[in-house]
Amino acid sequence: MVLGVVIYAAASAMPLPLSLPSSAFGTLVSNAALAFIALGLLGILVGLVRRNMFTYLISDRDVVMQKLLLRRSVRRIPFSSISDLQVSQTLMGRLAGYGNIAPVTKSGYGLVHGMDRAENVVQEMINVPKPDKVADLIMSKVSTGTEAQTGA
């Protein structure tokens, strides 16, 4: 989108080449700039829909992941079954402060993709703001639940 605005602004300030008629060159540049702007807006729209499609809730006993688009899907992962969390961020995610969190369980129920035979990743939490803080919160609840079960 930004590229389209830059092209459009630069084209209006540039002198026209002698080999092209002014109307053909202006139309070509305007159409290219509008195409870049449209692609940028489409990308923003897809990102907004994808971000608002997921809802996450951290309760006292589990993590609830809800997906809403054309159909509703709810996934509950009890803290007792979480052994680890994977946090991943792209470069853009690090700059904007969001990332993905994948709870790792020993069982493999709800398997998305495997790490190794002993540990499996269940459904991933996508585009979570401040993923490191959220992961720390979940792991503190996991360790608190483990201590309560062992009587420590």
Average pLDDT value for the chain: 76
Q: How many CB atoms lie within 10 A of CB 126?
A: 17
* pLDDT band, very low/low/confident/very high, at 121 (cuts 50, 70, 90): low
Identify whether the C-beta of residue 81 lies closer than 8 Å to the C-beta of residue 105.
Answer: yes
| pLDDT band for position 53 (cuts 50, 70, 90) | confident
Read off the pTM.
0.61
CA 92-123-78 angle, to 5 degrees, is 120
pLDDT digits over 6-31, tens only?
A: 665 665 555 555 444 556 656 777 77
Q: Is the dihedral of CA 21, 24, 26, 29 positive or negative?
A: negative
pLDDT at 79: 87
What are the boundaries of each domain within the chain?
Answer: 2-50, 54-150
pLDDT band at 127 (very low <50, low <70, confident <90, very high): confident
If phi > 0 it is left, if psi is from -120 to 50 it is alpha, else beta; for residue 151 that is left
Provide the pLDDT for residue 18.
46
* pLDDT tens-digit readout, 59-112: 888 888 888 878 888 888 888 888 888 899 999 889 989 999 988 877 655 445
Fold classified for 54-150: PH-domain like (2.30.29)
